Amino acid sequence: MSVLLINGPNLNTLGTREPEIYGSTTLADVEASVRAQGEAAGIEVACFQSNFEGAIVERLHAARTDGTQFVIINPGAFTHTSVAIRDAFGAADVPFCEVHISNVHAREPFRHHSYLSDKAVGVMAGFGTLGYNLAMTFVIDRLSAG
Ligand code: CA2
């Protein structure tokens, strides 16, 4: 069983800036933690981060045929702008959860709209980096149930 964890722009700097919003956990910490959760459940976790919209689109195209059964994605700022990533999920035909570290609904109005949420199985927002683990707990449950 295989899960793909995708992080979008600027999330490679997680843990180094704006700790009052995003905390001090690094992306490497997040990836290791979600991988460990998967390993304990017999699920392989592939991790991908890019600051480029097209690279995320192409990774989603690959997910259609590489055995990915579920995607967990924090699209970063592309959440609020990217019809291309929305369309790529349509083409990939793989279920996904959307994760936001911060509570986007308690922030600026432009962060309240997501181009992905209505296509997601579920959305986590505001639980800090723990949100990735909460989403992974759901995915493990979903995949284990068959
Ligand atoms: O809350 C989230 O996870 C966001 O997806 C993060 C995006 C933001 O544009 C979304 O509205 C909500 C921004 C990621 C910026 O990454 C940083 C990483 C470390 C420190 C500061 C910013």
Active site residue 22: yes
Q: pLDDT exceeding 90 applies to what percent of the chain?
A: 92
Looking at residues 82-89, what average pLDDT do you find? 98
Q: What does pLDDT average to over the chain?
A: 96
Q: What's the 146 CA to ligand 1 centre distance in angstroms?
A: 33
CA proximity to 105, closest of 124, 132, 85, 81: 124
pLDDT at 138: 98
Q: pLDDT exceeding 70 applies to what percent of the chain?
A: 100
Beta pairing, strands 2-7 & 70-74: parallel
* Residue with CA nearest ligand 1 atom 9: 77
Contact criterion met (CB below 8 Å) for 62 and 78:
no
pLDDT at 2: 96
| Ligand 1 nearest-atom number relative to CA 75 | 5
What pLDDT band is residue 116 in, cutting at 50, 70 and 90? very high
pTM of the model: 0.96
Looking at residues 128-143, what average pLDDT do you find? 97
pLDDT at 19: 86
Residue-wise pLDDT tens digits, 7-62: 999 999 999 988 888 889 999 999 999 999 999 999 999 999 999 999 999 999 99
Three-class SS state of 61: helix
The reply to whether ligand 1 has any atom less than 6 angstroms from the CB of 111 is yes
Residue with tokens 């909460």: 134
Looking at residues 97-109, what average pLDDT do you find? 98
pLDDT at 53: 98
Does the pLDDT of residue 97 top 90, yes or no? Answer: yes
Active site residue 100: yes
Looking at residues 74-97, what average pLDDT do you find? 97
Side chain identity at residue 36, one-letter code: A
Q: In sequence order, which ranges of the chain are alpha helices (DSSP H)?
A: 19-22, 27-40, 53-63, 83-92, 130-144
